[in-house]
Structure 1
Amino acid sequence: MAQEITTLQEMLDRINDSGNDQGRVSLGEIVESVGNRSFGPLLLMVGVIAASPLSGMPGVPTATGILILLIAAQLFFGRDHFWLPKWLLRRSLGTDHVQKAIRWLRPVARFIDRWLRPRLPALIKGGSIYLISFNCAAIAIVMPMMELVPFSAHGAGLALSAFGLALISRDGLLALIAFAVTAVSFGLVIYNFN
């Protein structure tokens, strides 16, 4: 069993090491590399994808929206491990695209990891988990529209990454920041559709 992920850099390392001999990396391989028992790393993984240049590729925000909705629903209902349908686990990207996104994110990961620590624990346990899962589900529902609004998917990805990191590091302050980033991302979408 893989050791629990505690930093963004560990998440990127595991995603970077996933893949196969055909130059592709499937979602199933990524999920297996980060572990299917912790929702924090999975939210972080999806957030990293949505915040990276990969979110600019057509269809990626919609696909990540589906994944986010599945994670949020299972987090809301308190499942003890994560499940995804096989058709979604078979979806893949070129390893070169994934590695390029990881290289782009590494400096950010080093910076963020220095600031994480347990604080404001009431914001990442108990009833707060329901609020986090609700916000993640709202992001998932809006993700297809974010394909039409430049950079809004990046903001949603940052919020998801922050929620994931907050769950991993038990950092309630980071959860508060994620709520704020979610509000700004939604504001961008609403502004651009009015």
Structure 2
Amino acid sequence: MFSNARTSQILAALASQPGERLTVRDIMGVLQDRAFALLIVLLALPNCLPMPPPIPLVCGLLLAFVAVQIIFGRSTPWLPNALLNRSIASVDVERAVARALPAFRRLERFSRPRMTFLDTPLTMRLMGVVILVMALGLLFAPPFVGQIPMGLAVCLVGLGLVERDGVVILSGLVIGAIGLMLSLGFIYAIFSGIESLF
């Protein structure tokens, strides 16, 4: 159903689901063949803004969980039943989608399938490795604002996968490299400070 749909169309379909509450299982059903890529986007979005701990930690761990499944070649994400049965109010989904749609529609004006050699099962597994590395970078990012470059990078990679746009994916990888350097610098500063104490 959504094989050629744009991100905004999938999100609009998600917001139009009937009922007062949506379970995670319902959401996964709407995402269908884009579930992995859109999960990456949804988990990265909170880190595109200054967020206090433990939000980057939780998002990083969930992203790592998703990335490992991509590496092992799963066609759809596996989530435990306890999580699949959790629900969220439909009005909250509609509000979140309404906020996100303008940004996605702006991106879609210039995003299109490009560099489609990146859209292969092998490349998807390599993307899983990259996302795993960036997820680990989120775990060790400086608090409050340090996770923003990594969050933006993961979000762009996810959007590139949804839109099958290699240029957007590569943009995310460049920003991710910068974010990783910031995270490594933060870790180095912590260990240097500890070492100086002894």
Structure possessing the higher radius of gyration over alpha carbons:
2
> Which TM class, normalised by the smaller chain length?
0.7 to 0.9
Contact in 2 for aligned 1:124/1:166 (Cα 8 Å): no
Distance 2:28 2:52 in 1: 21
Distance 1:173-1:141 versus aligned 2 partners, 3 A rule: same
Q: Secondary structure at the match of 1:73?
A: helix
Deviation, 1:58, is 4.2
**Match for 2:130: what amino acid?**
N
Deviation, 1:136, is 0.6
Q: Which of 113, 116, 119 pairs up with 1:124? A: 119
Q: Secondary structure at the match of 1:152?
A: coil
Q: Given the alignment of the two structures, is residue 152 of structure 1 paired with residue 146 of structure 2, yes or no?
A: yes
Distance 2:27 2:52 in 1: 19
Distance 2:43 2:146 in 1: 15
**Match for 2:20: what amino acid?**
D
How does 1:1-194 map onto structure 2 within 5 Å? 3-4=2-3, 6-17=5-16, 21=20, 27-35=24-32, 38-51=35-48, 53=49, 56=51, 58-90=53-85, 101-146=96-141, 148-193=142-187, 194=189
Distance 1:107-1:119 versus aligned 2 partners, 3 A rule: same
**Structure 1 vs Structure 2: percent identity of aligned residues?**
23
Deviation, 1:119, is 1.5
Deviation, 1:140, is 1.9
Question: Which one is further off, 59-68 or 11-20?
Answer: 11-20
Distance 2:89 2:51 in 1: 15
Distance 1:172 1:111 in 2: 17
Deviation, 1:57, is 5.5
Q: Under a length normalisation based on structure 1, what TM-score does the superposition of the two structures give?
A: 0.75
Distance 1:67 1:19 in 2: 27
Structure 2 gaps, min length 5: 190-198
Q: Under a length normalisation based on structure 2, what TM-score does the superposition of the two structures give?
A: 0.74
